Amino acid sequence: MSRLVLLGAVLLLAASAAVAQGPPATGQPGGAAAESEKLPLPQPSAAPTLPEGRGAAYYLLRALGSLVLVAGIVVGCYYLGLRLRATGPAARSGPIEVLHTKPLGPGRALHVIQVEGHRLLVGSSPNGVRLIRELDDQPPEDNASDA
């Protein structure tokens, strides 16, 4: 699920960067060097100005709108990941239930599982899963409560 959220965030950042660059430059012959020679240099005393017809509020609303869009897509990817995980194979219930797990070391553990009413003790390791023994159907009583 975290991979899905990460992918969504990367795509959104790429899309917002493309929107921030604006329309692509026209492909005139001569390359970037010829275009830079034709552009006038700004005067040092000239104050920066906004293009005519659009005020600062327009750019502020555009930036906020982009932020809301990116946040919405990230949240949507998160909930999509939750929904996909909830419908995956681990979410389906069946006749097998893991009652207890005891880790023994890296990649090794003992599991008490119940399969159609039978309790089994199994061991798992990097080499596979093995049945150790079949347990009684009733779990033992706690002796700690008697003391």
Three-state DSSP at 88 gives coil
24-76 pLDDT, tens digit per residue, is: 555 555 555 555 567 776 666 656 666 667 777 888 899 999 999 999 999 99
**HSE-up of residue 9 (Cα within 13 Å, Cβ side):** 8
Residue-range domain boundaries for the chain: 1-23+51-92, 96-134
Separation CA 114–CA 94 (nearest Å):
11
Instruction: Encode burial over 42-63: b for 16+ CB neighbours within 10 A, e otherwise.
Output: eeeeeeeeeeeeeeeeeeeeee
Q: Are 115 and 96 in contact (CB under 8 A)?
A: yes
Per-residue model confidence (pLDDT) at position 15: 74
DSSP annotation of 110 reads E
Per-residue model confidence (pLDDT) at position 1: 56
pLDDT at 140 over 80: no
- What is the rounded average pLDDT for all residues in the chain? 76
